[in-house]
Each structure stands twice: as C-alpha cells, then as structure tokens.
Amino acid sequence: MNTKYIFVTGGVVSSLGKGIISASIGKLLLARGYKVTIQKFDPYINIDPGTLNPYEHGECYVTEDGMETDLDLGHYERFTGIRTTRDNSITTGRIYKTVIDRERHGDYLGKTIQVVPHITDEIKRRMLREEATFDFVITEVGGTIGDIESAPFMEAIRQLRWELGRNAVCVHLTYVPYLKAADELKTKPTQHSVKELQSMGIQPDILVLRTERHLDDTMRLKVASFCNVDLECVVQSEDMPSIYEVPVNMQRQGLDAAILRKIGIPVGETPAMKPWHDFLEKQRNASREVHIGLVGKYDLQDAYKSIRESLNLAGIYNDVKTKIHFVNSQDLTTDNVAAQLNGMAGIIICPGFGQRGIEGKIIAAEYTRSHDIPTFGICLGMQMMVIEFARNVLGYKDATSRESLTPDPSPKGEGSDYHCVIDLMEEQKNITQMGGTMRLGAYDCELKEGSKTFEAYSQAKLSTPLALRRGVGGEAVISERHRHRYEFNNQYRDEYEAAGMKCVGINPDADLVEIVEIPEKRWYIGTQFHPEYSSTVLHPHPLFMSFIKACIDGKS
C-alpha cells in the first residue's frame, strides 16, 4: 500500500505527552502488522540537543548511527523496539543548515531563498521519508501550537495534508484542565487550541484530550461538536499508573481503529498484544521493593530518563518495584556518604559532563567498592570508578582524567605531575569544537568469557539485538551505543588487571577498554557505553537485569 502519514501536534501547554502518544500509536500499528517508523521534529535552532543543558531539555538520547537526539526517541524505541537513526530526529537548525549549504553551493540558481517554499520544502522532504518504504510514518512536532518557531512545520503539514489527501491524518493532543474551586472540567482551552490550528489551515482528524479526571460522553460530544471532529475520534488520555498502560488505554478507546478508518484501511480484528499485557501483569503483581541510589548532579527526572526506565523495566522482570532515590554527587563527602547511601540495595554512578560533582562520584565509588554494594557505573560513572581504584588501590593519589586538568598537561611519563588514567584518544586531542565530536553511536565490544558481564549477556534471548554474537575467531561480541570523548588509558591496563579490576570488554578495532569489573565483588561493573539506550519494554537490558538481581539477592 502507499505510505500513510500521521502528524502529531500539541496545544494549550507543553509536556502533555506527545511522545508517549506517538509511541503508543506506533506500538498499536506494529501490533497490526504494519511497518512503522516514528520521527521527531524539534523547532529549536540547535543542530541537535547534544550541547543543551539537561535541566533545559532532559537527557540526550543517542541513536545507533551516532545522532544525538531528543529523549522522545527513547520512548519510541522502548515502546516499539524500532531502532531509530539520525533520520528520525530533525531540528530547525538542521533544516536551515541544509538549505543554507545548498544556497552556498549554488543549488538554487540565484533565486531568493525564503521560508516558503525553500524551508518548508526541506521540511516536507524529510517528513515524507522517500528514501525508505514504510506503511506508516508518524511525525511528532515539538512545541505548542501558536509558537513562532513551529510555524514553518505547521505550514509544511498544511501543504502535505492537501497533497497527500486521505493518506495523511492529523492527531492533535490538547489539555482539559480541572478547576477544583468550580469542580468542573474546562474544554475552552481545547477549543482555542483547535481554532489556532484551523487558522493555520489544518483541521485535526483526531483529538487526544489529556486529562487528570475522566471525561464522560457528554464532554466528549461537546468537544467533537465545537471542534468539527467525529465523536469516535475524540479520545481521552487520563493519568495512568504507568506510561506503559497508555497503549492499552488508547487501544481500548479505538485510537488505532479511528486512524485506520480515517485513512480508509479496513480495521479488522483488534490485536491481542499478549506479550505487552503479560508485562503489565508482572508490573501490577510486583510487590517487593528494591531501593536504588542514583548518584548524579542533575536533580531532574528527565536528565536520566533512560536509566530510570531501564531500572524500572529490569525491576518488573525481576518481580520487584524499583524505588529510585536521587543522590546529588555535589553534596557527597567522606563524612556523609554512609548516611546518604544508607538503605540502598545498589548504586548507579551516572554519566555526565564537566567537573561539577565528579569528586562526589569518586567518593561514592570508594564507599560501594569497600562495602561491597552492587554498583553500576555508566560512561563518566565508569571513569570515576577507574580513577577511584587508581587512587585507593593502585596508590596513585593524583590519578585523574585529562578533562579535569587545566591547563592540559601530558600524561604521566611525559613530564606531567598527574596520572591520567582517563585520557583522550590521539585523534581527539586537537579538536576544539564541542558538538558532535565524541565517540557516538554503536561500536562492537568483545567480552571476556567467564566474566559477570559475559554471563549477563548470555541470558539475553537470541532473537534480540542485545544477544551475544560470535566474531570471526569465535569471540563473544556485543554492540552498544556510546557518547563520550575520554577513554581508559591503556598504559595502565596491566596494573589494573594485576590489582583486581579486570578489563572484560574491549573494542576490537581500537583496542579501547569498554567494560571493567571487579570479579571478587558481588556486582561492581562499569561500562564506557550507555546500555540504557538499548533497553525496551519487551527486551530489558541484560546488564540492568543482572544488576537488579544482584541487588535483590543481597537483600534476601
């Protein structure tokens, strides 16, 4: 069949959950056997969110092909299992850069370059995804209707609606507030949001009403009448116990069926989605709790979104509820670390950039190592575990990362006063640009058989992208996503191995250390890569599964 296009927009306020709704639509269509992709168009001028402060934008999610993207792509992957690429994340900055580069190259034959048609044409080209064949392309547009930044995207959607005819539908997500003093739900904001959308030439086909209170049919009929939308196409998105209940709630109300009818495709039988329901049943039945400390510097839930979700998913599959406690690494000292980490069954030492809070992470690593508390260090967290080990086991009290040194001296042995156990790759040393200059995306890693890490990956189902595969020489190989600039300094590898910290994961092409672990500890593992990016609802990441199991066993 011809590719069908679903545009998801939002109104009234931001943070209503367009990403969750887009991911839910994708999940429901996949369950019906369609080939689907989901993409996010963000109206900010940054080329990508890689240089954005997590306090402003939450975590930066990385695709397998090395694109730094919006965190909503994490929702897409966790819900659907689809592996996204750089084509799934577009910003205004990328659009304008492409058009300007073409203008400089002379591709427009001397024409005056304007928002319409040149910018909108480039937006349309990327929305259509003509280079690949899909049954459905779901396009979420960031921001809120009425934002100046979103105007070119809305114009592109308006044009595509006319050009594509019945092959395109618009799903508009709005907010229905509850006024406690009046004890009433108010639809006026929704009416105004739809009116704003109509003023741009776009009539929504389906309305998803975000609400904290149940809407009766009378309320839905009122919205349908005032907004020129069929009653069956007015769906409510109530607060649910878990975001993973949303696809089931949308299916129950017939959102996927309404989309198919609008496009002119026979609805057929409703798919059972048994694995998803089995997961939800496990989630509801989990009664025991496991408490995990998240040692980082960003006191914002979205800053470590994928880690939090990976922990929650692994907990559910281990039949426990994961209770996550944020521990600000800036506040950790040798005097208070015991009190701060008290009661934690396990500790995650979080990734991050910059100097702020790293000494607190080193203090946490020393405490958990010396007290044999299950510990999982991710990216910068792994590097802090390496530095702590050098200082307190190898005896290098001056051990540090090159990132910490200003000015930047050479490593030990070349006139430096420091042991840079975490250093730059040679090709990185002359780079001055910030964005997109790190080791990004998926890289292979050979595992040492018999290690805890190898055993964890051995438990993954062979049908999943996380399963072990065998290299040409029979090596156990995995592939994981990276986002970092600094590396384990191989000059010290033998010393670490001899002292008990084993390098059990090595990149075969560059001979870079990817994973360290201390076998004598119950669970003390650090990964240079970000395993949280690969964890999905139906296939939780094996390292998180193993970590949570170790935390549970320690509390038994």
CA 521 to chain centre: 30
CA 136 to chain centre: 22
Structure tokens at 187: 């639809």
What does 465-499 look like in DSSP terms, one character per residue?
TTS-EE-TTS-EEEEEEEEESEEE-GGGHHHHHHH
Pairing mode of beta strands 288-296, 346-349: parallel
Please tell me what DSSP assigns to residue 138: E
What does 297-333 look like in DSSP terms, one character per residue?
S---GGGGHHHHHHHHHHHHHTTEEEEEEEEEGGG--
- Those residues whose C-beta lies under 8 Å from the C-beta of residue 30, and which sit 6 or more positions away, are 36, 80, 81, 82
Q: Is position 227 annotated as part of the catalytic site? A: no
CA–CA gap between residue 353 and residue 41 (Å, rounded) = 26
* Polymer length of the chain: 556
**Amino acid code (one letter) for 545:** M
Structure tokens at 450: 């018999």
CA–CA gap between residue 401 and residue 435 (Å, rounded) = 20
**Quick check: helix, strand or coil at residue 215?**
coil
Q: Phi and psi of 402, rounded to 5°? A: -60, -30
CA–CA gap between residue 4 and residue 208 (Å, rounded) = 20
CA–CA gap between residue 192 and residue 170 (Å, rounded) = 17
Produce one character per residue of 83-108: b if its CB has 16 or more CB atoms within 10 Å, e if not.
ebbbebbbbbebbbebbeeeeeeeee
CB 289 within 8 A of CB 315: no
CA–CA gap between residue 517 and residue 386 (Å, rounded) = 10
Which entry of 379, 420, 445, 551 is annotated as an active-site residue? 379
CB 496 within 8 A of CB 516: yes
Please tell me what DSSP assigns to residue 288: E
Q: Is position 427 annotated as part of the catalytic site? A: no
**Quick check: helix, strand or coil at residue 362?**
helix
Helix axes 274-285, 305-317, angle to 10 degrees: 90
CA–CA gap between residue 383 and residue 362 (Å, rounded) = 9
Q: Where does residue 432 rank: exposed (0-12), middle (13-18), buried (19+ CB within 10 A)?
A: exposed
Which entry of 530, 539, 541, 551 is annotated as an active-site residue? 530
Which entry of 59, 140, 446, 532 is annotated as an active-site residue? 532
CB 8 within 8 A of CB 25: yes
Please tell me what DSSP assigns to residue 445: E
H or E stretch covering 388: helix 380-392
- Those residues whose C-beta lies under 8 Å from the C-beta of residue 432, and which sit 6 or more positions away, are none
- Those residues whose C-beta lies under 8 Å from the C-beta of residue 191, and which sit 6 or more positions away, are 223, 226, 227
Q: Is position 530 annotated as part of the catalytic site? A: yes
Q: Report the catalytic residues.
A: 379, 530, 532
